Amino acid sequence: MVLYCILCEELARGSMSLAMTVSMQAMMATDFIYRYGTDDHKKRLLIPALRGEKIGAFALTEPNAGSDLGAIQTTATRQGDSWVLNGPKMWITNASNADFFTVLASTDRTQGIKAVDFFLVEKGTPGLIVGKKIDKLGVRASDTGELAFDNCKIPLTNLLGTQGSGFKNLLSILSQIRVMTGALGLGLSRAALAAATEYSKQRVAFERPIAKFQAIQHKIADMAADIELSRLIVYYAAWLIDNGKRCTKEAAIAKLFATEAANHAADEASRIFASYGFAMEYPIQRHFRDARFLLLGGGTSEILRNIIASEVIGKI
């Protein structure tokens, strides 16, 4: 996990779109096949995915089910020797490029989150509908789109894990997703700080570089402090995962702090650039837009605060 976070941080420092595409492939799209797929799944899909020959996607979110996954509408109904999937999915990274999808669906809508499971659906399966691409504010080079399932029939063996274990299995990967997202935020923060620092040395106002003004120095100092704190909590949480330790609270803090810090860094950097921060000519506008994306996946800041509070307070 530490090595994976280093990869995500460095890619995000250059391109958040590339980092998102790679991180999806490297963990969410392939992890459940690695853990629960059959030997045939691993041979046909996982190994080619590791080689970069096939692309995967993780289909969790729906138009009316983001943080509240118990409200998902996509269903999986057993019919003979098959599962039949019906329902919509939204905000799916790699949607139009994927060769296979790990899909969350409910086997009993009356049971909410207790009856959700993951299913493997391959490209070209009848009833799998790849919808339109989403025209996004940021992370524009990363493919994001809609999916739908219309009586999509898959083999019984495409249930990933045992029936009824989906929510527990999701919890096992959520901390990794949150820490990874924190690493993405750390990379973006570093890019924003580097751009702002370089510009502040070049931009002259009142006959001296603006880097000499205390107001600018304080912005840079705050950004640098946030980066160091983000680095500490992200890699501490990653270390906990690598050592098999529970880190629900630490992962939530890592994602909350590092992504909010990334948005603050992008905002402050754009202020240092002033009017040029509004120009497409400079990369700071891209960092500003891309940073917003980090606030969504893996839990919103509000949800993360709820999780942290429940971990600290405990049962009441």
Segment 142-157 shows an average pLDDT of 96
C-alpha to C-alpha distance for 131 and 126, rounded to whole angstroms: 14
Could you report the per-residue pLDDT of 167-196, keeping only the tens digit for each? 888 888 999 999 999 999 999 999 999 999
- Could you please report the per-residue DSSP string of 272-314? HHGGGGGSTTSTHHHHHHHHHHTTTTT--HHHHHHHHHHHHH-
**Domains of the chain, with CATH numbers?**
38-160 (2.40.110.10), 168-313 (1.20.140.10)
- Mapped onto helix, strand or coil, the DSSP state of residue 43 is helix
Segment 203-230 shows an average pLDDT of 97
**The pLDDT value given to residue 119:** 97
Would the pLDDT of 142 be above 70? yes
Could you report the per-residue pLDDT of 237-280, keeping only the tens digit for each? 999 999 999 999 999 999 999 999 999 999 999 999 999 999 99
pTM here is 0.94
Kindly indicate the confidence band of residue 314, based on its pLDDT and cuts at 50, 70 and 90: confident
Segment 61-76 shows an average pLDDT of 87
Q: Which amino acid is at 186?
A: L
**The pLDDT value given to residue 302:** 95
For residue 26, what are the contacts with CB-CB under 8 A and spacing of at least 6? 4, 7
Give me the chain's average pLDDT, please: 95
**The pLDDT value given to residue 114:** 87
Token pair recorded at residue 197: 């620092």
Would the pLDDT of 315 be above 80? no
- Could you please report the per-residue DSSP string of 102-119? EEEEES-GGGGGGGEEEE
